[in-house]
Amino acid sequence: MEIAIIADDNKKELLVDLCIAYSGILTKHRIHSTAKTAKYISVHSGLLVSEILTTGALGGIEQLTSRISYNEIDILIFLRDPASAHEYSRTAEVEMLRMCDLHNIPMATNLSTAEVLIRALGQGDFDWREVENPRSTYNRRKVKIGRA
């Protein structure tokens, strides 16, 4: 599964704690993150971040939104700080969340929902996303079989 994991600055430590607590599940999947969050995740939890996007202020949210709009992300975990004052990205964040709704991509914006999604991921409850995601192992295998 392709999992996007990002966090506002005030939530990065909480995100690292989440990644440490659920590293057994998360290591089995590809993690996508913006640069600053990816550094926090990899340095403090030891998880491998498969794709590092630019920082949020430099377009990382827009890059992630693009992947979501092409249905290439299976789950979004975005620990938001609603009290955060950086208005430069609020419009981009709203668009990213809208794309998740449009493409039926499960998302969490707080710790409790993130834990529910990760536990469900560990139980295989999101295996249906393998059929939806064009980058999934299922669909890559299907293309190879079709060519043979």
Average pLDDT, integer, range 20-35: 96
Helix (H), strand (E) at residue 2? strand 2-7
Distance CA(74)–CA(52), nearest Å, equals 16
Closest CA to 18 of 121, 93, 127: 121
Q: Compute and round to an integer the Cα radius of gyration of the chain.
A: 15
Pairing of strands 51-53, 75-79: unpaired
Structural domain range at position 67 = 2-147
Highest mean predicted confidence (pLDDT) among 16-25, 52-61, 126-135: 16-25
Average pLDDT, integer, range 75-87: 83
Distance CA(102)–CA(114), nearest Å, equals 19
**Tell me, what's the pLDDT at 143?**
55
**Tell me, what's the pLDDT at 129?**
79
Percent of residues, the chain, with pLDDT higher than 70: 86
Convert the pLDDT of each residue in 133-145 to its tens digit.
Answer: 777 666 666 555 5
Average pLDDT, integer, range 2-8: 95
pLDDT at 146 over 60: no
Distance CA(122)–CA(120), nearest Å, equals 5
Query: Per the structure, how many domains does the chain have?
Result: 1
Provide the mean pLDDT of the chain: 88
Cβ neighbourhood burial of 68 (10 Å; 0-12, 13-18, 19+): buried
At 123, which CATH number? 3.40.50.1380
Higher local confidence (pLDDT), 2 or 58: 2
Length of the chain (residues): 148
